Amino acid sequence: MAKDNMKEISISRAILERYHAKLSNCIESDVIIAGAGPSGLVAGIELSKAGLAVTILEKRLSPGGGIWGGAIGMNEAVVQDDAIGLLDELGIAHERRDNGLHTVDAMELASGLCFKAIKAGATLLNLMTVEDVCIHDNRVRGVVANQTMLVDSLPIDPIVFSARAVIDATGHEAAVVQAIRRRGLLDDSPARNGVEGPMNAVAGEVFVVERAGEVYPGLWVTGMSVSATFSGPRMGPIFGGMLLSGKRVAQKVADVLKKT
Ligand code: 48F
């Protein structure tokens, strides 16, 4: 066989073998995080640093969620004082503004969080859409996921990623919570009807941190999924609450998993 041809075969084989090893390894994790936006990535960093095996499943090609576009496509993110310690820990630069606010280059924030999550030990799979949840003995035990390109296009079955804990970090979609809610399994009071409230940046930022937590045995919410689940306010282009919500949920999940 020609030498060039041999090299092409090696390139393809290297990708196939490495990807499948990675995939096979994360079929069973300590924690599955659905969605790689700011809250999911911070949760992934913190839980990996705590020594847990973390898999992050992201439906899009690029992880980073709503960070990349800043606001109306202007790629600066705003972060408040409370979350600056976290940015410093991660080595992400920021510039002070008035009113306790800082700007961060959105490209640096998105790529920095992805980089840190992987360096901390998390496995990040893109193009993987979480479409359902696994429940055994009234506890979430994993998620059902399919390649994004196949979802709604071909009748091809998904696979299951199992875990001791699942975090819904899918943003406004709250995809894992919705999978439970549509079966009537969520304890739904009128205040938890899944419709986000109108914009209130200050209240919203507090809400996503305070209410980040377990919503069903084995299932936690963080970031905008918190607002979508508990009908909290929208909050627009400010990201500190998302980062702190990811940190808070990671602490809660780590506490529970370390005890079990
Ligand atoms: O939307 P996203 O950035 O969520 P977040 O971490 O942060 C919200 C902020 O970006 C922004 C804000 C509030 O106004 O400041 O909205 O709560 O990231 C969610 C990620 O989840 C992915 C989606 O592509 C995005 O990268 N995602 C959504 N649905 C699924 C999913 C799904 N079914 N499976 C896998 N990933």
Classify residue 183 by burial, with Cβ atoms within 10 Å: 0-12, 13-18, 19+. exposed
Q: Is residue 178 part of a domain?
A: yes
**How many domains in the chain?**
1
Backbone angles phi, psi at 146, to 5 degrees: -135, 160
Q: For residue 106, what are the domain limits?
A: 31-258
Q: Is residue 14 part of a domain?
A: no
Q: Is residue 11 part of a domain?
A: no
Q: Is residue 225 part of a domain?
A: yes
Residue 37 CA: nearest ligand 1 atom is 18
Predicted confidence (pLDDT) at residue 192 exceeds the cutoff of 70 = no
Q: How far apart are CA 105 and CA 100, in angstroms?
A: 17
Mean pLDDT score of the chain? 95
CB-ligand 1 contact for 232 (6 Å cutoff): no
Q: How far apart are CA 245 and CA 3, in angstroms?
A: 53
Q: Is residue 131 part of a domain?
A: yes
Report which protein residue has its CA nearest ligand 1's atom 14.
Answer: 236
Instruction: Give whole-number Cα distances, 110 to 11, 168, 188, 245, in Å.
Output: 29, 19, 34, 16
- Tell me which residue of 216, 215, 213 sits closest to 250, measured CA to CA: 213
Predicted confidence (pLDDT) at residue 193 exceeds the cutoff of 80 = no
CB 131 within 8 A of CB 151: yes
Mean pLDDT, to the nearest integer, of 87-105?
97
pLDDT band, very low/low/confident/very high, at 100 (cuts 50, 70, 90)? very high
Which of 33, 149, 224, 234 to mutate for ligand 1's pocket (most ligand atoms within 8 Å of CB)?
Answer: 224
Report which protein residue has its CA nearest ligand 1's atom 9.
Answer: 66
Whether the pTM exceeds 0.85: the reply is yes
Q: Is residue 44 part of a domain?
A: yes
CB-ligand 1 contact for 242 (6 Å cutoff): yes
Mean pLDDT, to the nearest integer, of 158-167?
98
Q: Is residue 21 part of a domain?
A: no
Tens of pLDDT, residues 4-39: 788 999 999 999 999 999 999 999 999 999 999 999
- Tell me which residue of 100, 93, 61, 63 sits closest to 76, measured CA to CA: 93
CB-ligand 1 contact for 248 (6 Å cutoff): no
CB 158 within 8 A of CB 144: yes
Q: Is residue 9 part of a domain?
A: no
CATH number at residue 196: 3.50.50.60
Give residue 191's pLDDT: 58
